[in-house]
């Protein structure tokens, strides 16, 4: 399970208590590289699935989309390609016991983003109303 090794999994498990959200068919909204003492990379993306038991404030605001922001800390080996299209693809987060391997792939199997990081911090999870097409 991908959230077992993140620094603050309760941010996610409070919204998705029984099973973490799928990272398939997410919509990547932003990739930001933050230089400093430890190189960081921030990923902001919309999840495909809205939680069954969404927070009451999300229901009251008619939210239909969840955006998740992850911060990859002590990042190395960043590779990034600027894709065209919708930015929809699959995010893979693997932990080998020491480091995370993070890959975002669009169809047909184009690696858009790949990095390794020592830690992953969940910066934010929020609901908003996305215009449906």
How large a percentage of the chain has pLDDT more than 70?
96
Tens of pLDDT, residues 21-79: 999 999 999 989 888 888 999 999 999 999 989 999 999 999 999 999 999 999 987 88
CA distance 73 to 26: 21
Average pLDDT over residues 102-118: 87
In a domain? residue 50: yes
In a domain? residue 133: no
In a domain? residue 119: yes
Structural domain of 46:
2-128
Average pLDDT over residues 101-130: 90
Cross-strand partners of 130: none
- pLDDT given for residue 80 in this prediction: 83
Average pLDDT over residues 86-109: 89
Number of domains the chain is built from: 1
Identify each DSSP E strand in the chain by its residue range: 26-34, 40-46, 65-80, 88-95, 100-106, 110-128
- pLDDT given for residue 83 in this prediction: 66
The reported pTM is: 0.90
Residue 95 in tokens: 């932990």
Tens of pLDDT, residues 8-19: 999 999 999 999
In a domain? residue 68: yes
């Amino acid at each position: 399970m991908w959230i077992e090794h993140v620094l603050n999994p309760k941010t996610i498990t409070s919204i998705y208590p029984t099973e973490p959200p799928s990272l398939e068919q997410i919509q990547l909204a932003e990739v930001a590289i933050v230089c400093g003492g430890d190189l960081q990379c921030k990923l902001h993306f919309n999840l495909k699935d809205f939680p069954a038991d969404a927070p009451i404030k999300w229901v009251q605001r008619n939210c239909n989309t969840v955006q998740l922001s992850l911060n990859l800390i002590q990042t190395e080996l960043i590779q990034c390609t600027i894709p065209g299209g919708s930015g929809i693809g699959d995010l893979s987060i693997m932990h080998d016991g020491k480091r995370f391997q993070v890959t975002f792939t669009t169809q047909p199997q184009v690696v858009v983003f790949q990095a390794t990081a020592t830690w992953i911090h969940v910066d934010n999870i929020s609901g908003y109303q996305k215009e449906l097409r």
